[in-house]
Amino acid sequence: MKITVAISGASGSNLGVNFVKKLPKEIEVFVIFSKSAKTALKLENNLSTKEIFSDYPNVTIFKDSNIGASIASGSFKVDKMIILPCSMNTLAKCAVGISDSLITRAFTVMLKEKRDVIVAPREMPLNSIVLKNMLTLSKLGVVIAPPILGYYSAQQSLQDMENFLIGKWLDLLKIDNNLYKRWE
């Protein structure tokens, strides 16, 4: 399986990083950091994108400016894509078909090829424009899955909360996991 993980510049970009780290090692992963995601990771987590995945040989990182990357072509088969977190700017561009970066180009390719795509908008409260953009994408078959907790899994820490969210996203992508306590 091949998956693209686009990490855009919303607060919580570390969720995208942790998602990649929880993926099974046999999955080939293509990661794109937006410029704003790099800024958020530095400010919120004191992380530099250069070292994040150095111990993950199954991860390839692309620059968001590289619109000629393999994942920008429908003939290069990527099975699934998640934009995590999805900034409101990225959400809007996806909803209206603007492909001015590798993130939005890869998204457009996935959409035209009718492949599985999830966007995880990370913003609150949601205004009417954002809701309209989400509805537009949902009608196109994109799964809208913001980071919303389910308290039945009895999270006790931030890591437990993140594992719940990541587990739910993996479930949506049909990737087996045991990251959270399921409903009994």
- Model confidence pLDDT, tens digit, residues 92-144: 999 999 999 999 999 999 999 999 999 999 988 999 999 999 999 999 999 99
> Which pLDDT value is given to residue 47?
87
pLDDT single digits (tens) 133-184: 999 999 999 999 999 988 888 889 999 999 999 999 999 999 999 999 888 7
Q: Which is higher by pLDDT, 11 or 2?
A: 2
Tokens describing residue 170: 């993996």
Rg, Å, the chain Cα set = 15
> Which pLDDT value is given to residue 20?
98
Nearest C-alpha neighbor of 86 from the set 147, 4, 20:
147
Please, which pLDDT band fits residue 10 given cuts at 50, 70 and 90? confident
Residue pointed to by tokens 């794109």: 32
Q: Rounded to the nearest 5°, which phi and psi values hold at 161?
A: -65, -45
Nearest C-alpha neighbor of 37 from the set 20, 68, 14, 3:
14
22/14 Cα distance (integer angstroms): 12
Q: Rounded to the nearest 5°, which phi and psi values hold at 106?
A: -60, -40
pLDDT single digits (tens) 29-69: 999 999 999 999 999 999 888 889 999 999 999 999 999 99
Nearest C-alpha neighbor of 72 from the set 105, 110, 115, 24:
105
Q: Rounded to the nearest 5°, which phi and psi values hold at 82?
A: -135, 135
Say what the alpha-carbon torsion angle 20, 164, 88, 23 is, to the nearest 10 degrees. 10
Query: Can you give the pTM of this predicted structure?
Result: 0.96
> Which pLDDT value is given to residue 11?
86
